[in-house]
Structures are given as C-alpha cells and as structure tokens.
Amino acid sequence: MKKLLKSLGPVSAIIGAQWGDEGKGKATDILSEHYDVIARACGGANAGHTIVIDGKKHIFHLLPSGCMHEGKTVVIGAGLVLHLPTLLEEIQTLKTHGIEVLNRLFISPEAHILFDFHKEIDGVMERMREEKRGQGIGTTKRGIGPAYMDKAARIGIRMEQLGCDLTGELTQRRDQVKNMYGIDIDVKLEIDNLRRAASLLQNRIVDTIDLLHELLEEGKTLLVEGAQATLLDIDHGTYPFVTSSSTTAAGALQGLGIAPKMLTSCIGVAKAYCTRVGSGPFLTEMQGELAERIRKRGGEYGATTGRPRRCGWLHLPDLIRTARINGYTHWNITKLDVLDSEEQICVGTGKRSSAEAEYAVLPGWQESTVGLTKFSALPKNAQKYIEFIEEQTGIPAALIGTGQAREQMIIRS
C-alpha cells in the first residue's frame, strides 16, 4: 500500500471508465483512509453507493463514500446538484449509527439546489422522449437533467441562497413550470425543505476553493471521488444516452475548482466485464443465459433504481478512449471473481458492424479467485487476462477486486 500511495501522490481522482457502477466506492473506501480530504465534484443523487454499517446495507447518493472514515474532511464541490432532503437524510442515518459528519462537511456555495419539482420534470421529460423517439434515456428520475438545465439557463438556485426567502422566485417558477410541463410546484413544501436544510447546513457552506487550496498548501492530501463514469459524460459519452454533467477527471477538477496540473494521479475504475443501466448503445452486450449468469453472480441491479443492469464483455476501445480522456495512471479492475466460472472470456477489440463487436477470445480460469489478495496467487489465465488489459491500454492494474468485502482486493505497487 505504501508504494501505491507514493505513486498516487497527494491529489488523486477515482474516475469510472464505463457506464457507472464499476465499484468505485470500494477503492475510495480503501484509499480514503490514507487521504485527509475526500471530495465529490459533480452529479447528484443519481449516484448510489452501498455502505454497510453495523451489518446493515445503506445506499448513499450524495455524501462521498469516504465520509465514513471519522476525522476526514468532506467536501461537496460546486459541480453538484443537491437534493437537500436526501442530503439531510444521509447525514442523519450516519448520525444514528454514531458517525458525525456535519462538523467536517463543507459545501460549496456554488453548488446548485435540486428541488422536488426537478424530479417531476425529469419524469415528464422522460415520458415525452418515450412518446417522441420511442425510447427514453432511462434516467434515474432524480431530477438531474432538469437541475443542470436550470444551471445552464442561468436560472438555477445555488447553495449561497439557502438562507434567503425564495418564495417569490419559486412562485414565479411555479407558473413557468405549470405552463411548460403541466406540473404543480408545491412551493410550501419546497420552502419547508429549504428551511429545514438551512437550519442544519447554513454554517457548512464555505468557499470550498479557498478551503481546498489552503489545505493542499498545508500539505494535506485530497482524494476526488468521481460520480457516474466517462461513457455517461455529457460531452464524451454515448450522447444522448448520458447524464447531464461532466463525469471525467477534467470535469471533477472543474467541479472542485482545482487546476489540472495539481492532479498527481487518476485511477480508472473498470469492471472485469461491463454493465449499463438505462438505454443506449452497448456493443459488447451479452444475451440470454450468459447475461443472466453474470447479472446474478455480479449482483447487477441498480443501487439507485433497483433496475437489472445490462451486462456485457469488456470493450478495449472504450478503455483506451477513456484512459486518454482522463489520463489514467492506474487501473482498478473490479469484480474479477464474477468471471471465475466462465470457460472463455471475450474482450471487444473493435467494431465488426454498427451493432456487432469484434472479439479477442481468451481462455477462462474456472477456479475461484474470491478473496485473493496477491497477484501471484491468481490462476495463470486470470493473470493473463489482467496483463492483456494492461498491455493493450498501457496502464498498470494497481488494484484488482476479488470480492465484495473491503479486504478482497489485490493491491500492487
């Protein structure tokens, strides 16, 4: 671990290489123990990571997974869209389990507030897309698109306004939203939510750019926890089947107000196979029994929506592309054990046609890798699979997941 930490340096980002759900939370959890500050930069409650507290599973959407470690400074950056009742609930859940996060949480005044009405608009827009195009995006219905629409249209409400009386602004929005989407905004409910949030969060809103830079100047270390993943990026993802934020390393730095030159490493997280929730192209998608088997073994059901995830093989051109976009320095290949009983492992190497991938076929290992913590202990064919990914992408696999538990991880320097 020491050698790995040295190679990661003081400012590291963890960025998904596929369509999300790569298991970024586990690497974050392991690494955040060794960093002073943990920050989330973009997205909103569309993200979902499972945290086990006292043997009970909790799904968190807004707080970074690293906040579980007592004493770490937790930053929520400007790039986020915050549904405040969700944030309050997460803080409260941790509190009831004896984890106090509020006194070490810092929220950017530039982060946008995501209201309940954004969620309703999300639902209406999704129905409109289904009617018009015959297919929706399959959003998480958490209001992400509509909140970022308001931000881009420069009519969003930011955390800096939390303590203000927003009745006038919201009443005006109510008429607009009614006209455009036929939705009735419950102004009183939104105001009540804001009041509740203000009483708890008002003094947690600080200039997080100053805070982060001052901490870094003091020699503190920073772990940036990416949300969603590169193939869902608004610019570089599989548009229009993407989320509405910049999910790349550059997007995360922008969301936090940190200059690109300060990033010392970027860990790309990719499953040993691939999954996707929601609609959109998926060249290496598995079908039938194979898909079912991988879905079951990998527990591939959405953390935020519970939807079964579409499963497929790894697609090298995507890994190479996302590595270029993000400047990955290390891979975290997750869930290798899910492939344990496969006779053959396919890896997409390119396109045969617009709908069909070309594959390299590698022999499977058909032995359990569950819980292995040493690369040399992996079956030879599993080693070869990882080495194939490393050779093809030119990036070392520093972390390899071999099971759900925190300790089920191979850590290489």
**Which residues does the annotation mark as catalytic?**
21, 49
CB of 80 to ligand IMP, least distance (A): 12
> Site mask, ligand IMP, residues 267-296, x = CB under 6 A?
----------xx------------------
Applying CB under 6 A, the site for ligand IMP has a residue count of 20
Closest contact distance (angstroms) between CB of 310 and ligand IMP is: 10
Q: Which of residues 382-401 bind ligand IMP (CB under 6 A)?
A: none
Which residues 6+ apart lie within 8 Å of 202 measured at CB?
162, 163
Please identify, using beta-carbon distances, which residue of 232 and 272 lies nearer to ligand IMP: 232
The Cα angle at residue 303 between residues 297 and 342, in degrees rounded to 5:
15
Sign of the dihedral through C-alpha 52, 326, 143, 310: negative
How far is CA 175 from each of CA 114, 128, 166, rounded to the nearest angstrom? 18, 20, 15
- Which residue's CB is nearer to ligand IMP, number 204 or number 271? 271
Q: Which residue is nearest to ligand IMP (CB)?
A: 278
Member of 13, 21, 146, 346 binding ligand IMP (CB under 6 A): 21
Q: What are phi and psi of 136, to 5 degrees?
A: -90, 180
CA count, 13 A, side-chain hemisphere, 306: 0
Cα separation, 150 vs 5, in Å, equals: 40
Query: Is residue 170 within the footprint of ligand IMP (CB under 6 A)?
Result: no
In the complex, what is the shortest distance from the CB of residue 48 to ligand IMP, in angstroms, rounded to a whole number?
A: 6
d(CA 72, CA 118): 32
The reply to whether 119 sits near ligand IMP by the rule CB under 6 A is no
- 145 or 221: CB nearest ligand IMP: 145
Collapsing DSSP to helix, strand or coil, 81 comes out as: strand
Among 41, 121, 144, 357, binds ligand IMP (CB under 6 A): 144
Q: Does 20 bind ligand IMP (CB under 6 A)?
A: yes
Q: Which is nearer to ligand IMP, 59 or 206 (CB)?
A: 59
No. of helices (H) and no. of strands (E), the chain: 12, 17
According to the binding rule CB under 6 A, does residue 145 interact with ligand IMP? yes
Cα 82 from Cα 61, distance rounded (Å): 10
Q: Determine how many CB atoms are found less than 10 A away from the CB of residue 86.
A: 17
Q: Which two tokens stand for residue 377?
A: 């202990």
Q: Residues 122-141: x/- map of binding to ligand IMP (CB under 6 A)?
A: ---------------xxxx-
DSSP result, 84-110: HHHHHHHHHHHHHTT---GGGEEE-TT
Segment contacting ligand IMP (CB under 6 A): 150-158, 240-248, 257-265, 321-329?
Answer: 240-248
232 binds ligand IMP (CB under 6 A): yes
Which positions lie near ligand IMP, rule CB under 6 A? 19-21, 46-48, 137-140, 142, 144-145, 228, 232, 241, 243-244, 277-278
